[in-house]
Chains A and B, each alone.
Chain A
Amino acid sequence: MNQLLDHYQLFLLRSKRDPEAFGHIYDKYVAQIYRFVYLKLPSKEAAQDVTSEAFLRLWQYVLEGSEIRNVRALLYRIARNLVADYYRKAEVSVPLEETVTFEADSTSTISTGQLSDHGRQHSEIESKAELSLILERVARLKEDYRDVLLLRLIDGLGFKDIATVLEKTPGHVRVIYHRALKALDQL
């Protein structure tokens, strides 16, 4: 049903030339994509930039008339590639392992009834440190194994979505996942 609604929005966009349809897709996925990139990047601003760019790239796909079977998985794929590009650029020399920052205002939101800004910042800093430990451990695995493990166990994507992100078949992704778990145990 989710994909059906997405395809309907794409249909409105292409046939009715209604930009609001793109707005609906944005509303649906912006938080997910932001969440996906946030801990992988050194700052909130970087996460915002990458998220914006992901939607601009999606817009490009729509303009080109490319077939889009799964909007969500495509967005994740674009975002993932953009995170990789971010670290490949010459001016960014900070590896992910050293992206823990102590900016006082690096939180993304103030919400009532939840962690205070300070508390949220502390947990996010901890998580970035934890993520770097995880990356250190899985760095010894093959790239395929690493990608599938992280997308599944941290980002919580389903095998079908992972297959679209990595441009493989779902069956292949499952096999990789089982092998990756085994390889992880042997590390």
Chain B
Amino acid sequence: MSHRDFRQLMNSVRKTERSVIPDPSWVAQNRIRLLSHASSNMPKEVSAVRSSAAEIFKGFVPTQLFYWMRRPAMAFLYLFAIMLGGSFASVSASERSLPGDFLYPVKLATEQTRFALTGDSSEKLRLKTESVQRRVDEIRQVATQPMEHKQERIKAAAENLKRDLYSAKQQLTDVSAGTSPKATLEAAKLLDEQSSAVVQGLQEVKESIPAGSKAIVTEAESAAVSTGVKAVTVLIGSKDTPEGAEVISADELKLSIEGKVLALENKIQETSEKLRLSTTSSTISATSTVPALMSSSTASFASTTASIAVANAALTEAKVFIQENKLELVPNKLLEAAQGTADANLVMSSVSSSPAIISGSASTTSGAVAPTSSTPVTSVSVPTSTTETSPP
């Protein structure tokens, strides 16, 4: 069984697992049984701390005074609770919202507020990595659940992911400038782990993503690779220092680098496969009256092939440097490989979206549209009356 077949098998099982819904009547009956068991087994005594606090309260606060203060104090508390409860309810409801949902801007605003109110740069980086993870989860949820305007939603989530990755990269620079070497290395390690998780997460949902949003998701993947490489560069720079050894072992560092090489290898393989399929299935009409367009298509395929060759060469050099333990030379090669792959995908996307070049029995298997702009998206303008099917 090939690696690809195995992955498809895994995805298929996971899809089915996610669609399993327990019998509602069993769920309800089981709940009653469980709660009845819980009630009958509930400990009788209140916790010791609470009872002594009650004794202390009774001893020090005059009961009369408490009685007269109680009503206005409670009125104020009720009012405060209603105000806070409303916003709290919105915030907690928005946590589950997805791009295109009514409360999604609230979710983003909450993240941005939390970020803005945090002073510590390491803490800011940690918040950013959490945002990045949320974007990936959003893409996963939109890709794997039936809903309307999937393509636009995924595009919005991917744009936000790119923005958050860029911001995380900037945040690492701030941490490096303002904190101790150990804190910088811990931040770099966190960012490295998170960016690997992003690449992995996006790979896992690739097949569920509509063709029209694959290009932007590929861009987001490239952004994650680039962020991971930046983080690894910081770690490599300090690998021989005592702080470096404390934060990440040589083995872990090498594994992280090898993980990136593996991810890039898969990407290059995927891109080569896409190119091979689009070359064999497309036919250029012999009777085309636009020779310039024909040669443009040929030039594009040649350009893609060249970009893939550059990526392959860079990755091969990276592997040699890893074997020779010249780790400080590796990040640039990884970036070169990532750039080559991204360029190849970009050219293939623009070729497949050109209408008049290819005729006859042509079909493009990538089906990708031209990449969207990289302007950050803070709100999504899709109709809010979508039909969502939330998992139970």
Contacts and interface: CB of A to CB of B under 8 A. Distances in A.
B71 interface: no
Question: Chain A's interface: helix, strand, loop or mixed, by majority?
Answer: helix
Given A22-B38, A31-B391, A130-B12, A181 B22 contact: no
Contact of A179 (B6, B189, B255): B255
B197 A159 contact: yes
Interface residues of B, number: 50
A31 B9 contact: no
Contact of B42 (A17, A36, A137): A17
B3 A134 contact: no
A35 to B, nearest CB: 5
Contact of A34 (B20, B31, B33): B20
Nearest to A22: B38
A66 interface: no
A35 B20 contact: yes
B17 A127 contact: yes
Contacts of B38: 19, 22, 59
A154 B17 contact: yes
Nearest to A5: B92
B79 interface: no
A185 interface: yes
A124 B16 contact: yes
B87 interface: no
B30 interface: yes
A77 interface: no
B37 interface: yes
Interface stretch (A50-58, A85-93, A94-102): A50-58
B193 A15 contact: no
Interface in B104-148: 133
Contacts of B204: 153
A131 B391 CA distance: 22
B17 A134 contact: no
Given A19-B42, A56-B34, A130 B13 contact: yes
B295 to A, nearest CB: 40
A1 B17 CA distance: 26
A27 interface: yes
B23 A108 contact: yes
Given A134-B13, A178-B258, A171 B6 contact: no
A6 to B, nearest CB: 13
A139 B10 CA distance: 15
Interface string B182-208: 000000010001001100000010000
Interface string B279-299: 000000000000000000000
A33 to B, nearest CB: 9
Contacts of A108: 20-23
Interface in B1-43: 1, 3, 6, 9-10, 12-14, 16-24, 26-27, 30-31, 33-35, 37-39, 41-43
B59 interface: no
B31 A63 contact: no
Contact of B1 (A120, A137, A159): A137
Given A39-B13, A48-B22, A171-B193, A19 B35 contact: yes
B262 A181 contact: yes
A117 to B, nearest CB: 12
B385 interface: no
A109 B22 contact: yes
Interface string B228-267: 0000000000000000000000011001101100100000
Contacts of A185: 3
Given A22-B34, A31-B21, A51-B22, 5 more contacts: A17-B42, A30-B27, A56-B37, A171-B252, A178-B256
Interface of A: 1-2, 5, 14-15, 17, 19-20, 22-23, 26-27, 30-31, 34-36, 38-39, 44, 47-48, 51-52, 55-56, 59, 63, 108-109, 111, 114-115, 120, 123-124, 126-127, 130-131, 133-134, 137, 153-156, 158-159, 170-171, 174-175, 178-179, 181-182, 184-185
